[in-house]
Amino acid sequence: MEALVAIIIAVLVGSGVYLVLRARTFPVILGLTLLSYGANLFVFISGRLKLDQVAVVGQSADPTDPLPQALVLTAIVIGFAMTAFLVVLALRAQGELGSDHVDGQRDELYGEQQNKGSR
Amino acid sequence: MSNWIMAPILIPALAAMMLLLEVRERHWLRRVTGLTATLALVPVSILLFRQAATGDIQVYSLGDWPAPFGIVLVLDQLSALMVLLTSVLAVPALLYASHGDDRLGPNFHSLFQMQLMGINGAFLTGDLFNLFVFFEVLLIASYGLALHGRGPARVRAGLHYVVLNLIGSAVFLLALSLIYGATGTLNMADFAARAAELEGPALTLVKVAGLLLCVVFGLKAALFPLYFWLPATYASATAGVAALFAVMTKVGIYALLRVHGLAFSDGALAGLGDMALWTVSLLTLGLATVGVFGARRLGELVAYLVVMSVGTLVAALAWGTEEAISGALFYLLHSTLICAGLFLLADLVSRGRGDAGDTLMAGPRPPAAGLLGALFFIGAVAVAGLPPLSGFLGKVMLLRAVPAPAYWALLLAGGLLAVVGLSRAGSTLFWRAGEPMAGTVLNKGRLAAAVLLLAMAPAMVLLGGPLSAITQSVAAQWAQPDLYIHAVLGYPGGAQ
């Protein structure tokens, strides 16, 4: 169980970091989303993993910790709002800069650089 | 327990809500509301500072839940000083923006108040997760403000700023959950008390979390290698916003100071990250000096001066003696206000130069060049640390408190190169200028805002004695984390 969750978080964060390092805004946004999923899952398990236990004291012999659940709810809401904002910003950057490159380089320029790189 | 501690958060929050009500074509109403709320913060923060200056640490339990379980707001001298600085800075920044810049896009005033709420909240909270929430409040407001007005440069810089800070937020969350997992608390005082007695694997986890926190706060403070976003963002933001942003890097420094003073001062975590912060801050100082020297626009130059002040301050923080912190606090007040004033001045100059803007190339003479030149001279002397203005006093205090050859060399060489860079900028803008452009006049209101901030340089020298007494007493309280822990938890650290 612990190993499985650890692997999931590692995959999420690893893919997130890879995508964040891409040059186009869309993969960067996807990467940030995966990164925040990884972080949220990490917050969630900071109260330890327990199966089939309620988060209310007195209702079960070994209740789970309710605080990380409250924390992760806050973090999810904030992360969601930030991602929505970033999507709008990326669309506006595409409109104003005429390209979805993160540095706002024109597509022709970017294409040339890529061609040079591949040669 | 007084309820006034809530006021610096509630006043901007209420004002921001009121400003969201639709009042089409009534900009004066928005301006009056925004300015009233911002002005109201000044007497409130003076009152709070006077309460804190008595030496008592006030703790306000939200929802009346006792300390380690509920969220607390804590008012000690350090928080009170930072809240006071914010309110003193916000008035001229908003005054400047209210002369036209606020009409470049909708909801400027509301975002400005949200930003103030986030900054004040970050200074006052005594809970790490609440600090995260207030960071997000001030960040999302700052995204809106940084992008206020149009232009490709602003959007490009804004995109980098937002993406970097989102990554920072994810790292902050990882650090917080490590701390919660290992110590079972997110209350700063409780964390400090428990961290002192940690051992084994839990200690390693908390050390990792502590260093991650340093990374996050270093990103907010713009430390090497995480400062590259700052010059572009600050130089392309509208002037009033850039002036307010001068205090945003200081939020990062405040958070470093707070966590460092509480948890990393002694016990199991003593000295965590000191060496890394020391190295990184000296690198920041050195590279920012190169930036000041190589800047091609006045706004960029001032932005690098902000980065320089961050390097100067964090090095003193890493040195960590009470005297160094006292000097750093004096320098922090000075550098925030003067850099903000220089941002406003840079905008005033660029408005009078047409297409040349604030690029450091010969162009038309700005209107009232003599007056603006004199102001620039005062600002440059103060920020470079030449006698007789405030930067000199701050640097003397820092040099006396931090007797490390590397620090002396970088700070003095940095000062010299800043003088060269600033005099080159000044002579290009004011002396090598051609005929003034027809039809450009100097806006009196904008000028007043810039004068108000730059007048702090002589004022801080005249009040040098009392001010340094204040920073000394703040540093003395900072150096005794037990006072803070005792005030919050009601018992002196460790088990009850």
At B81-139, the pLDDT tens digits run: 999 999 999 999 999 998 888 888 788 899 999 999 999 999 999 999 999 999 999 99
B158 to chain A, closest Cα gap in Å: 8
| Cβ atoms B437, B356 nearer than 8 A | no
User: Mind listing the pLDDT tens digit for each residue in B334-362?
Assistant: 999 999 999 999 988 888 887 777 888 88
CB of A74 within 8 Å of a chain B CB? The answer is: yes
**Residue percentage of chain B with pLDDT more than 90:** 49
- How many A-B residue pairs are in contact by the CB < 8 A criterion? 92
Report the pLDDT averaged over residues B358-370: 82
Tens digit of each residue's pLDDT, chain A (119 residues): 889 999 999 999 999 999 999 988 899 999 999 999 999 999 999 888 888 888 888 888 888 888 899 999 999 999 999 999 999 999 988 888 888 888 877 666 555 555 554 43
Evaluate whether residue B345 is within a structural domain.
Answer: yes
Lowest mean pLDDT among B35-44, B184-193, B435-444: B435-444
Distance in Å, alpha carbon of A96 to nearest chain B alpha carbon: 6
Scanning every residue of chain A, which has its alpha carbon at the shortest distance from the alpha carbon of B176?
A43
Mean pLDDT along residues B224-253: 90
Q: Smallest CA–CA separation between A43 and chain B, in Å? A: 5
pLDDT confidence band for B49 (50 / 70 / 90) = very high
Residue B23, in any domain of the structure: no
Q: Tell me, what CATH number does A104's domain have?
A: 1.10.287
- pLDDT over threshold 90, residue B370: no
Q: Do B133 and A71 touch (CB under 8 A)?
A: no
**Residue B344's domain spans which residues?**
273-462
Distance of residue B285 Cα from the nearest chain A Cα, in angstroms: 26
Q: Do B143 and A85 touch (CB under 8 A)?
A: yes
Average pLDDT of chain B?
88
pLDDT at B491: 63
For residue B494, name the pLDDT band (cuts at 50, 70, 90).
Answer: very low
Residue B57 in any domain: the answer is no
- Quick check: is B244 in a domain? no
**pLDDT on residue A19:** 95
User: How many domains in chain B?
Assistant: 1
Taking CB atoms and an 8 Å cutoff, what residues of chain A touch B151? 96
Contacts of A83 in chain B (CB under 8 A): 166
Report CB contact under 8 Å: B136, A42.
Answer: no
Q: Does B177 touch chain A (CB under 8 A)?
A: yes
> In angstroms, what separates the C-alpha of B180 from chain A's closest C-alpha?
7
Q: What is the mean pLDDT of residues B222-242?
A: 88
Quote the tokens at residue B36: 């009233």
Asked whether residue B286 is domain-assigned, the answer is: yes
pLDDT at B137: 93
Lowest mean pLDDT among A14-18, B42-46, B61-65: B61-65
- Judged by a CB distance cut-off of 8 A, whether residue B152 touches chain A is yes
Residue of A nearest to B171 (CA): A39
Reply yes or no on whether the pLDDT at B445 is more than 60: yes
Does a structural domain hold residue B112?
Answer: no
B228 touches A at CB < 8 Å: no
So what's the pLDDT on residue B262? 87
Residue B213: pLDDT band (50, 70, 90) is very high
Q: Which residues of A touch B206 (CB under 8 A)?
A: none
| Subunit contact B177:A42, Cβ cutoff 8 A | yes
Which of B138, B145, B177 is the best substitution to test chain A (most A C-beta atoms within 10 A)? B177
What is the pLDDT at residue A31?
Answer: 94
pLDDT for B496 equals 38
Task: Identify the closest residue of chain A to B139 by CA–CA distance.
Answer: A82
The one-letter amino acid code at B315 reads A
Rounded mean pLDDT, B10-21: 91
Chain B residues with beta carbon closer than 8 angstroms to that of A67 = 180
pLDDT band at residue B283 using 50, 70 and 90 as cut-offs: very high
For residue A14, the enclosing domain spans 2-118
User: Would the CA dihedral through B257, B77, B206, A31 be positive or negative?
Assistant: negative
Tokens of B232: 């572009």
**Is pLDDT above 70 for B493?**
no
Residue B492 has pLDDT above 60, yes or no: no
Q: Which residues of A touch B232 (CB under 8 A)?
A: none
Number of domains in chain A: 1
